[in-house]
Copies of this chain bind each other. A is one copy, B any other.
Amino acid sequence: MIGNEIHALAQRLWKINRSITGEGVRKTLAELKNIIPSLQVHSVPSGTSVFDWIIPKEWKVNDAYIVAPNGKKICDFSENNLHLLGYSIPFNGKVSLTELKEHLYTLPEQPNAIPYITSYYKERWGFCLTHEQLESLVDGEYKVFIDSELFDGELNYGEILIKGHSEEEIFLSTYICHPSMANNELSGPTVVTYLAKWLAENEKPRYSYRVIFIPETIGSITYLSLNYKQMKERVIAGFNVTCVGDDRAYSYVPSRDGETISDQIALHVLKWIDPSFVKYTWFDRGSDERQYCAPGIDLPIASIIRTKYGKYPEYHTSLDDLETVVTPKGLDGGYWAIRRAIEALERNKNYSVSILGEPQMGKRGLYPTLSTKTSFNQVRLMMDFISLCDGKTSLLKIADRLNVPIWDLYEFCDKLEEHRLLNVNE
């Protein structure tokens, strides 16, 4: 089960302190490059205008903690990088508990969870901790130490292009900007890494594949501002990959258009993997499809998800971990759902039967020798399939009309092409 390898990679990435910029992003990309060596790492300087936005300063954390009145270190960044508010400015000083509390963030309704909070666009400092810990704090003087830096640096992202027979591209995007969280961070880049590895090591695909690892929002805006014209020409389908690691549900978020080939394929694959998959609408969106599908960009990007961001209790807290939430089985399901979708895109051609009238299958040995009920149904399905190969109907539409998963037709396609009963009208 490939889920085990993906889970092991996620464990290796767990402790890295990722944010939208900085060393954590570069370390993460370096780790991925071990598995997909052709990964290119790009950088764009702080201050660069990207559409309506400006790339922020780079953030670096050397150390951060609080010393309680009893002399004990608490909220130690080196123990859990969620303790430090993302993009905290440096601070070094002594404060009363009352003053300190203005900089502490907790979740009273999830008292054992450390929340994940950031302040990219307003300068402040703060710590995140469990509500239980907050309640145990006693009056007295607290020493706060945040050795962080905000400076003109760069924003980084990774990119691979796997060339196929066609210049038309399938686009996969995932994000690397959250610190130690599992479903809403590590499941995305780890699953995508193993998909890229499969694509790169397999025989040359029909389509080209453009795969990117970016910080969310600012990263997709940056990438689009550099590449959207070419993308609009080439990208015929794609998926934003996030939250693909837990084993509790399958879900779908549409593109803005809602009827692109990516949507059709996602809906088909999910229906046949899990008939009770959750179908969200465009108004439930929340990740980089917001940029990819914005008016004027209009890329055909949908999302195949396990349990969606914002829809599970551990979301954006320290409880979103690699033990309880994200599992090898969950990752395996996420990997295969997207792989099924990619395979379906690769195989989704228009076939036409090469003969007028029904072909005589007997003389070609295409009827099974043993006449069981299963083989009868297979023959019936094959004849039904042939009857729909009119050169104008895609394999996906044929599968939908036959009410079978598209992958049940791959063998027919191969066998009938071999017997020259089918032509491909690409």
For chain A, residues 224 to 243, give those with C-beta under 8 angstroms from any C-beta of chain B: 224-225, 228
A51-B357, A221-B357 known; 6 new pairs, CB 8 Å cut-off, are A50-B357, A225-B356, A256-B387, A294-B358, A295-B352, A295-B389
CB-CB nearest in chain B for A54: B360
Q: When the two chains form their complex, are residues B295 and A390 in contact, meaning their CB atoms are under 8 A apart?
A: yes
Contact of A296 among B53, B295, B356 (CB under 8 A): B356
Q: When the two chains form their complex, are residues B297 and A356 in contact, meaning their CB atoms are under 8 A apart?
A: yes
A residues contacting the other copy or chain, number (CB 8 A): 39
Chain B nearest Cβ from A235, distance in angstroms: 15
CB contacts (< 8 Å) of A357 on chain B: these are 50-53, 220-221, 224-225, 291, 294, 297
**What is the oligomeric copy number?**
3
Chain B nearest Cβ from A172, distance in angstroms: 19
CB contacts (< 8 Å) of A36 on chain B: these are none
**A362 at interface by CB-CB < 8 Å:** yes
Q: Would you give the 0/1 interface string for A169-196, flagging 1 where the beta carbon is closer than 8 Å to chain B?
A: 0000000000000000000000000000
Q: When the two chains form their complex, are residues B121 and A362 in contact, meaning their CB atoms are under 8 A apart?
A: yes
**A298 at interface by CB-CB < 8 Å:** yes
CB contacts (< 8 Å) of A356 on chain B: these are 51-52, 224-225, 228, 294, 296-297
**A271 at interface by CB-CB < 8 Å:** no
CB contacts (< 8 Å) of A217 on chain B: these are 358
**A282 at interface by CB-CB < 8 Å:** yes
CB contacts (< 8 Å) of A256 on chain B: these are 387-388
Chain B nearest Cβ from A381, distance in angstroms: 9
* A50–B390 CA distance with the chains assembled, in angstroms: 20
**A353 at interface by CB-CB < 8 Å:** yes
CB contacts (< 8 Å) of A355 on chain B: these are 51-52
CB contacts (< 8 Å) of A225 on chain B: these are 356-357
* A425–B127 CA distance with the chains assembled, in angstroms: 48
* A297–B356 CA distance with the chains assembled, in angstroms: 7
**A290 at interface by CB-CB < 8 Å:** yes
**A391 at interface by CB-CB < 8 Å:** yes
* A298–B295 CA distance with the chains assembled, in angstroms: 35
Chain B nearest Cβ from A122, distance in angstroms: 9
CB contacts (< 8 Å) of A408 on chain B: these are none
Q: Would you give the 0/1 interface string for A264-307, flagging 1 where the beta carbon is closer than 8 Å to chain B?
A: 00000000000000000011010000110111111000000000
CB-CB nearest in chain B for A224: B357
**A63 at interface by CB-CB < 8 Å:** no
CB-CB nearest in chain B for A421: B52
* A121–B388 CA distance with the chains assembled, in angstroms: 26
Top-5 shortest CB links A-B? A295-B390, A51-B357, A221-B357, A52-B355, A291-B357
For chain A, residues 351 to 398, give those with C-beta under 8 angstroms from any C-beta of chain B: 352-353, 355-360, 362, 384, 387-391
CB contacts (< 8 Å) of A50 on chain B: these are 357
Q: When the two chains form their complex, are residues A353 and B283 in contact, meaning their CB atoms are under 8 A apart?
A: no
Chain B nearest Cβ from A212, distance in angstroms: 15
CB contacts (< 8 Å) of A389 on chain B: these are 295
Q: When the two chains form their complex, are residues B295 and A353 in contact, meaning their CB atoms are under 8 A apart?
A: yes
CB contacts (< 8 Å) of A402 on chain B: these are 283
CB-CB nearest in chain B for A381: B283
Q: A283-B384, A384-B283 are contacts. A53–B360 as well, Cβ < 8 Å? A: yes
CB contacts (< 8 Å) of A220 on chain B: these are 357
CB contacts (< 8 Å) of A384 on chain B: these are 282-283
Q: When the two chains form their complex, are residues A353 and B390 in contact, meaning their CB atoms are under 8 A apart?
A: no
* A387–B256 CA distance with the chains assembled, in angstroms: 8
Q: When the two chains form their complex, are residues A353 and B296 in contact, meaning their CB atoms are under 8 A apart?
A: yes
* A352–B389 CA distance with the chains assembled, in angstroms: 40
